A and B are shown apart, each in its own frame.
Chain A
Amino acid sequence: MTIQEVQLDRKKSPFYSRQAKLDRLNQWHEWKGYSSADAFYNAELEYFAIRNSTAVFDLTPMTKYRITGPDSLDYIDRLVTRDMRKIKPGRVAYAVWCDDQGQVIDDGTIFHLMEGEYRLCSQERHMEWLTAAAIGLDVNIKEETADIAALAVQGPTSYSVLKNLGLDGVENLKLFGLMDFDFEGTNLMVSRTGYTGDLGYELWIDPSKAEALWDALFEAGTNYGIMAIGTTALEQSRIEAGYLAAYEDFLPALATVRTGRSRSPFEIGLGWLVDFKKPNFNGRRALAREKRSGSTWRLVKLDIEGNKPASHSYIYTKKYGRFRQVGFVTSAAWSPICKHNIAIGTVRTPNGKVGDTLWVEIYYQREMHWTRLMAKAEVVGKPFWDPERRRVTPPGVY
């Protein structure tokens, strides 16, 4: 192989040509080998597209695996903690998977594409673990990240945009459902899923049709405020929705070295995904033990006073006027739509029950000088942002 044949630069998404045309900032970062934009125009503007009109985010770099074969259901069911027998073809499941110690390897979505055929999407790459999980089972696992171009189309007008694009029947698509459409003779799969906590869809198509889809979509969205967005706006919206990010709100278990740095599903608020009615799944024995003896950590959603984002803050309890450190913030943002200062954090149990008052130590800088602030933080139960329209079928026309 000569040197020219080795790809040295970042991969370009099949939507790159269209994104480059829109790009005003030239702010890109690496995401799993691909170039991904922080923002194209202005992150704040893009954020408001998510909440007020339609935002389009290129999620092609997201890791995707295709799982097929006679044992695919048994395989997936043993891999993840939730009961996959309940997930029928045409449905999507949010799921979490653990090692034998019951520690979270990653979370992601599993698409039941057709009987016995699944797509698993995740933040991280997991071929090694997925291959190990296949030992002794008749399944085939293929990474298909580059074989599929994917767009998230999110926001209150997203349904109208897709309707305008000519996707007849999309009105019947329920949350966590998926449907196939024809797009210029190519299969276009649409799922009602997303990472924004709003009404929204994800579109999946062969990369050869990526540009055509983008063009058609933007044309259909002209009157609905359609806008390409980067990861900064998306990050803000996922914190509002209370969604977790690997490497931020938890560390994938296989990436940890020190004991106690990984988390169980119970410790990151995903206990509802653990189904002990299943006789066997990875992590079951350890999780059953943890269920009996109690968890060490708890994930908290915090509503913090003031407006200074509490990024990387320590979390304290206050008793008899004394602060005791019990954890730290893992994600924080000012939520423009809720007008709240919000954060996600990890605290030692038994602290952090819903309704508890905690304290966060916020540092901020004004003209070189640092100021320290102890802000009161209320532990809340519900996601900060979870509008009705996310679920309503058929969706409203905005």
Chain B
Amino acid sequence: MTERYDAIVVGAGHNGLVCSALLAKAGKRVLVLEAKDQVGGAAITRAFATGYSVSACAHLLYQLQPKVRKDLGLKIEYAAENMETIALSPNGQHVRITGNRVDGVSDADTDSYRGFYKRMTRFADLLQTYMNRPPARLANGTAKDLLTLARLGLDVRLLGKTEMREFLRLIGMNIYDELVERFESPLLKGALSLDAVLGTHLGPRSPNTILTYLYRLCGNHGRLDSPAGGMSSVTEALAHAARDNGATIRTGMPVKRIIIENGRAAGVETENGDTFSSWLVVSNADPKSTIMDLVSPRNVETGFTRRVHNIRMRGNAAKLHLALDGLPTIEGLDKKDFGERMVIAPDEDYVERAFNPAKYGEFSSNPVLEVTFPSFRDSSLAPTGKHVLSAIVQYAPYKLKGGWTDATRDEFMQAAIEKLAEYAPDLPQRITASELLTPADIEKEFRITGGHWHHGELTLDQFLFVRPVGGAAQYAMPLDGLYLCGAGAHPGGGISGAAGRNAARVILSREKAA
């Protein structure tokens, strides 16, 4: 017996949940099928050692779109808000950044940073308007598409001619040149470089790293929050919103294939053989696994298949989780500082050098790290007196030469711990349990092809009108009744909810038009 729904959403990642909640809110009977036993996708809290829990992939919240909060009336409780970024220095001369303020650098850098921040957030605001609407089609546009295009022109023009030229010049540029031109402080330049490349297969000298930097600022100007109880509290809140609106969410239900009948989506079949019918299937899985595995190329056309096949999505970010029997000591830090975000990126060249090996399929033996101690402000995550370290470690190329094995994973984890020990010498002896997720592990656990943060590299050739691929950039896939709603679609990854919200809006407005 197959049950019929108005819409089936494959995957309960945060985008799938946002989309489901909005579709349900519009009166649709929605079924969400999630492979894992828990909702949230790469935004979850889970145990990694007895008594120790952590946000397993995403650990800091900075991109959640105000429009998503508003549309769903989200109330999120925070363990830490507006966190500081501390760019660690081995000799304790740290640099601290929050908003437009930077401490620990020259006056010239302080001034320069204020100007830089102002300009970047201004451009980010422009970019943000595009994040929250579907991108225009390039050719054969409908009147509405032309309007969006015209608005792109208009918004850009509102910036003024000079600023517009500046914006268009900047988004293709690398952040390295910009930073070197503006700042003296190596730590400041290192920290900003890291921000620009987190989650990408890019170094600070790669093109369009200003775009990736701007992308990070979209929505909240880079303000960093940490949800109480870890990332699951965000996705649980989203799941509540979906359920409150009437959506059914079923976990532990991996979808094996999207059923295609007469050239259109007709439902899904799960791995245990259950089938569910719907003329509307929305996939929160990444575009490659959606098309290649769930739909099968034989149901779509060759040009489209080739473009999907060629999406660049090899992850480079690994996630390190350490259980500690106490906080380590870091020279120059107060205890309260352990509630902030720390980065290990001593200078811009260091970050670029960390990237170099990744180009050749090797991991960085001197990695860059984004480190938090979430248990410091959130006692629910570790036993009393004990702590959790959660760090993003780059670069760990998905396609490691020779492949990822237990041995190579261990080797990379040791490199990360050694790097941490340069700043916190007593850290190694405090470790009681550990976990490192390579992109290969992330692919397996979270079903993200390549383990890529954004479900597809965030580069100009895979951005806006051409994300995920040209000709299918508006959530609708070239197969009737099939939509994408995840990070692989416009605008990209991060806990933002933009893709999920835009997809729901496209689906609903198309329906109205039909």
A and B bind: yes
Interchain Cβ contacts under 8 Å between A and B, 14 examples: A71-B298, A99-B302, A100-B302, A101-B303, A132-B306, A133-B302, A136-B297, A136-B298, A137-B298, A279-B262, A279-B299, A280-B263, A280-B298, A285-B301
- Judging by beta carbons under 8 Å apart, are B303 and A100 in contact? yes
Q: Which of B292, B301, B306, B309 has the most CB of A within 10 A?
A: B301
Q: At the interface, yes or no: B172 with Cβ under 8 Å from chain A?
A: no
- Judging by beta carbons under 8 Å apart, are A100 and B304 in contact? yes
Which parts of B260-297 form the interface with A (CB within 8 Å)? 260-263, 292, 296-297
- Judging by beta carbons under 8 Å apart, are A78 and B260 in contact? no
Could you tell me the dominant secondary structure of chain A's interface residues? loop
* 14 more A-B residue pairs beyond the given contacts A100-B471, A281-B301, with a C-beta to C-beta distance below 8 A: A71-B298, A74-B298, A78-B298, A78-B302, A100-B302, A100-B303, A129-B302, A279-B262, A280-B298, A280-B299, A280-B301, A282-B302, A282-B303, A284-B301
Known: A136-B292, A279-B262, A279-B263. A100 touches B301 (CB 8 A): yes
- Judging by beta carbons under 8 Å apart, are B263 and A79 in contact? no
Question: A71 to chain B: which residues have CB within 8 Å?
Answer: 298
A394 to chain B, nearest CB (A): 40
- Judging by beta carbons under 8 Å apart, are A279 and B303 in contact? no
**Which A residues form the contact surface with B (CB < 8 A)?**
71, 74, 78-79, 99-101, 129, 132-133, 135-137, 279-285
Question: B361 to chain A: which residues have CB within 8 Å?
Answer: none
A278 to chain B, nearest CB (A): 8
Interface size for B (C-beta < 8 A) is 19
B298 to chain A, nearest CB (A): 5
Question: B292 to chain A: which residues have CB within 8 Å?
Answer: 136
Q: Which B residue sits closest to A74, measured CB to CB?
A: B298
B416 to chain A, nearest CB (A): 36
Which parts of B455-487 form the interface with A (CB within 8 Å)? 471, 478
- Judging by beta carbons under 8 Å apart, are B306 and A285 in contact? no
Question: A280 to chain B: which residues have CB within 8 Å?
Answer: 260, 263, 298-301
- Judging by beta carbons under 8 Å apart, are A99 and B300 in contact? no
- Judging by beta carbons under 8 Å apart, are B478 and A136 in contact? no
Question: A137 to chain B: which residues have CB within 8 Å?
Answer: 297-298
- Judging by beta carbons under 8 Å apart, are A285 and B478 in contact? yes
Q: Which B residue sits closest to A128, measured CB to CB?
A: B306
Tell me the complex Cα distance, A129–B303, Å: 9
Q: At the interface, yes or no: B305 with Cβ under 8 Å from chain A?
A: yes
**Which B residues form the contact surface with A (CB < 8 A)?**
260-263, 292, 296-306, 309, 471, 478
- Judging by beta carbons under 8 Å apart, are A135 and B297 in contact? yes
- Judging by beta carbons under 8 Å apart, are A136 and B305 in contact? yes
Shortest beta-carbon contacts, A-B, top 9:
A136-B297, A100-B303, A279-B263, A132-B306, A133-B302, A100-B301, A282-B301, A279-B262, A282-B302
Q: Which B residue sits closest to A97, measured CB to CB?
A: B302
Question: B306 to chain A: which residues have CB within 8 Å?
Answer: 132, 135
Tell me the complex Cα distance, A74–B478, Å: 19
Select which of A74, A132, A279, A285 is within 8 A of B302 by beta carbon.
A132
Q: Which B residue sits closest to A79, measured CB to CB?
A: B302
Q: Which A residue sits closest to B263, measured CB to CB?
A: A279
A294 to chain B, nearest CB (A): 15
Tell me the complex Cα distance, A283–B301, Å: 7
B478 to chain A, nearest CB (A): 6
Known: A100-B478, A279-B262, A284-B263. A135 touches B305 (CB 8 A): yes
Tell me the complex Cα distance, A395–B142, Å: 57
Q: Which B residue sits closest to A130, measured CB to CB?
A: B302
Question: A129 to chain B: which residues have CB within 8 Å?
Answer: 302
Question: B309 to chain A: which residues have CB within 8 Å?
Answer: 132, 135-136
Tell me the complex Cα distance, A79–B34, Å: 34
A100 to chain B, nearest CB (A): 4
A283 to chain B, nearest CB (A): 7
Question: A78 to chain B: which residues have CB within 8 Å?
Answer: 298, 301-302
A67 to chain B, nearest CB (A): 14
B157 to chain A, nearest CB (A): 28
B483 to chain A, nearest CB (A): 16
Q: Which of B261, B302, B304 has the most CB of A within 10 A?
A: B302
Question: B296 to chain A: which residues have CB within 8 Å?
Answer: 136
Q: Which A residue sits closest to B308, measured CB to CB?
A: A135
Tell me the complex Cα distance, A279–B309, Å: 22
Tell me the complex Cα distance, A34–B298, Å: 36
Q: Which B residue sits closest to A288, measured CB to CB?
A: B263
Question: A79 to chain B: which residues have CB within 8 Å?
Answer: 302
Known: A137-B298, A280-B298. A99 touches B263 (CB 8 A): no
A99 to chain B, nearest CB (A): 6
Q: Which B residue sits closest to A281, measured CB to CB?
A: B301
Tell me the complex Cα distance, A282–B306, Å: 12
